Amino acid sequence: MQNKFLSNVWHPKSIIFAIVSLYLCDVTCQEKPFVTTPLGPLSGFYMKTREGRTIAAYTAIPYALPPVGDLRFKAPVPVDAWQGPLDATKESPKCVQRNPYTRQQEIVGQEDCLYLNIYTPVLDNDLAYESKLPVMVFIHGGGWMCGDSSTAMYGPQFLLDRDVILVVINYRLGPLGFLSTKDEHCPGNNGLKDQQEALRFIQKTIASFGGDKDSVTIFGESAGGASVHFHMLSKTSAGLFHKAISESGTALVPWAEAPPGEALRNAFRLAKFLDCPQAPSEKMLECLRTKDSYEIIDTEFRFYEWDYEPMTPFKAGVEPNLPGAFLTAPPRQPEVPAVPWLTGLNKDEGCLKSVWITSNKTKYEEFMSGFETIAPITFFYDNSPAADDITQTIRKYYMSGDENTAKKGILEIYSDSYFNYPALEAVELTLNYTQYPIYLYELQYRATNSFSQIFGDLEGDYGVCHADELMHLFPISFLNKPFSEEDIEFSKLLVTLWTNFATSGNPNEPQPVPFKWEPATSGEKMEYLEIKRNSRMSENLATRSRLWFSLPLWHNMRRRRYIDEL
Ligand SMILES: *[C@@H]1O[C@H](CO)[C@@H](O)[C@H](O)[C@H]1NC(C)=O
Ligand SMILES: *[C@@H]1O[C@H](CO)[C@@H](O)[C@H](O)[C@H]1NC(C)=O
């Protein structure tokens, strides 16, 4: 074990070796870190944290067989043990994708993409082998359509100033990860099953990196946050992790769970676009397996009805109850015990979508004049029999007034419908059965940079945008305005809160923080931490969004009907 070996250099028992070593080199004198796992040996490379600690990095580690050929549209198959050292210094290949949030036109990545990265701090004391380190596993966002584990985006330089191990994983995207035929031939959720397979790989190997397999925290943002919540609801993920952080995304967001009928309808459409038979499903899949992966991802544009809407045509869903199923009951009917959960929102989530609309005069006018047809599509209620009523209600609630009010309203509708109201529902649901605390937050700190820079406007200030917390946890390379001193201080605070939670299940310890973050006690109170310059506790998280509980959305109606039937 590499950490243990390096620590032993300084251990009294190894004193002679230590003296020799002192003459020859310091801790990082070896060119490459090396580790031997039960599956095989790996050689990585060294990096440095923000505060100068040495990191042993191992990237592009395969955790499953390449999901190509006959394995396309199948659940991941665990990787076999390997002989000889694996070169863990390359960049993990991205899964095949096109980024709709940056309006990317070309398709990138490769189908052989089931890799992960592991980063461990090189500790110059005995900590590494006296106590195993907590493990943090990050699941990236991107609407299950794009994103990747790259070091340039999700590097360890901030988090590893604390005593944790970071793992960042890839998983299949778009129809390659989320196609479902609702039967045994392709039950669905393959992207989530990939994440689960990565968690199994971590159970098998993380001790070799100095990690504690009994202290695994999964954390993710947006679709990654939704993924985290889905793992909390999955019988087959139970036991593979012990704590969870969902940033700006839960399993109840309208873009994550397919409403009844949608999965099969979109599978049929995909088959049609690619000249494949729609039935029987075996024949459909057989044909789809002959197509180029780029051709499959290229159909995404054809699912959009206005601009890039609706997003995420291929979602998660309940599967037939077969061996290995990821999800066998609706997310609103949890079947497994919860784990300690930290979850929250950014103040102006909706900027993910609104900036493209409100910063472009033509698009804004198109949106306003077509609101009756566009709103039901982009806000995911076109399947409601009362769609027109919903349109009138939200127009009145958010958009009564001049152009500035309307533009602010567009931001707020996206914030509330895509993120806020589903977060409240998810917290209320979880409070009803969890044995553990739930810590809630709203990020209110506006930094020098913001993701609005890539969501449609390089310069405008749209508040605290969707994904803005990421830059405090990871050195996101494309956000290139220089950080202020205050930004850096804030980032260190967020790193402390997140790594504290991963260490103890409580963001207030072991590292001291200048306030007390209290868990939420009830759906009526919704106590949460306002994270900002002088963070403080508050009540009634995202209360404006409660309007959406009263709207005739498909899942609200199903719940009401279900209650009526009792
Ligand atoms: C503004 O929106 C129009 C209509 O959707 C689009 O054709 C145009 O490319 C957009 N302009 C910019 C600068 O994005
Ligand atoms: C939680 O339980 C309360 C009281 O039994 C109930 O009224 C409420 O609907 C439940 N919330 C959810 C989201 O299931």
pLDDT per residue over 343-353, tens digit each? 999 999 999 99
For residue 10, pLDDT beyond 90:
no
Instruction: Label residue 532 by pLDDT band (50, 70, 90).
Output: very high
- DSSP conformational letter for 449: -
pLDDT of residue 25: 46
For residue 561, pLDDT beyond 90:
no
Sign of the dihedral through C-alpha 156, 158, 164, 168: negative
Cα separation, 427 vs 421, in Å, equals 10
pLDDT of residue 16: 39
Structure-token pair, residue 11: 């251990």
* Lining residues, ligand 1, CB within 6 Å: 360, 362-363
Mean pLDDT estimate for the chain: 93
Measuring from atom 12 of ligand 1, which residue has the nearest CA?
A: 360
Instruction: Label residue 262 by pLDDT band (50, 70, 90).
Output: very high
11/199: higher pLDDT: 199
Please, what is the end-to-end C-alpha distance for the chain in angstroms?
58
pLDDT of residue 557: 80
- Active site (annotated) includes residue 222: yes
Stretch 66-86: mean pLDDT:
97
Measuring from atom 4 of ligand 1, which residue has the nearest CA?
A: 363
Instruction: Label residue 131 by pLDDT band (50, 70, 90).
Output: low
Count Cβ atoms within 10 A of the Cβ of residue 396 and give its class: 0-12 exposed, 13-18 middle, 19 or more buried. Answer: exposed
Q: What residues form DSSP beta bridges with 443? A: 346, 531
What contacts 24+ positions apart, CB below 8 Å, involve 11-17? 11/126
Distance 430 CA to ligand 2 centre (A): 9
Order of strands, sheet of 86-87, starting from the edge strand that comes earlier in the sequence: 34-37, 40-43, 86-87
For residue 357, pLDDT beyond 60:
yes
User: Of all atoms in ligand 2, which is nearest to the CA of residue 432?
Assistant: 1
Amino acid letter for position 220? G
Give the orientation angle of helix 371-378 with respect to helix 387-399, to 10 degrees: 100
- Rg, C-alpha atoms of the chain: 24
pLDDT of residue 13: 40
Instruction: Label residue 31 by pLDDT band (50, 70, 90).
Output: confident
- Which pLDDT tens digit goes with each residue over 464-514? 999 999 999 999 988 989 999 999 999 999 999 999 999 999 999 999 999
Stretch 394-423: mean pLDDT:
97
Distance 108 CA to ligand 1 centre (A): 23
Task: Give the contacts of 304 (CB within 8 A, at least 6 positions apart).
Answer: 310
Task: Give the contacts of 7 (CB within 8 A, at least 6 positions apart).
Answer: 123, 124, 125, 126, 127, 128, 129
Ligand number, closest to the Cα atom of 363: 1
Cα separation, 163 vs 123, in Å, equals 9
Distance 411 CA to ligand 1 centre (A): 18
Question: Looking at 262, 300, 319, 349, which residue is catalytic?
Answer: 349
- Active site (annotated) includes residue 466: yes
Cα separation, 250 vs 198, in Å, equals 20
* Lining residues, ligand 2, CB within 6 Å: 425, 428-429, 432
Distance 104 CA to ligand 1 centre (A): 14
- Reduced to 3 states (helix: H, G, I; strand: E, B; else coil), residue 5 is helix
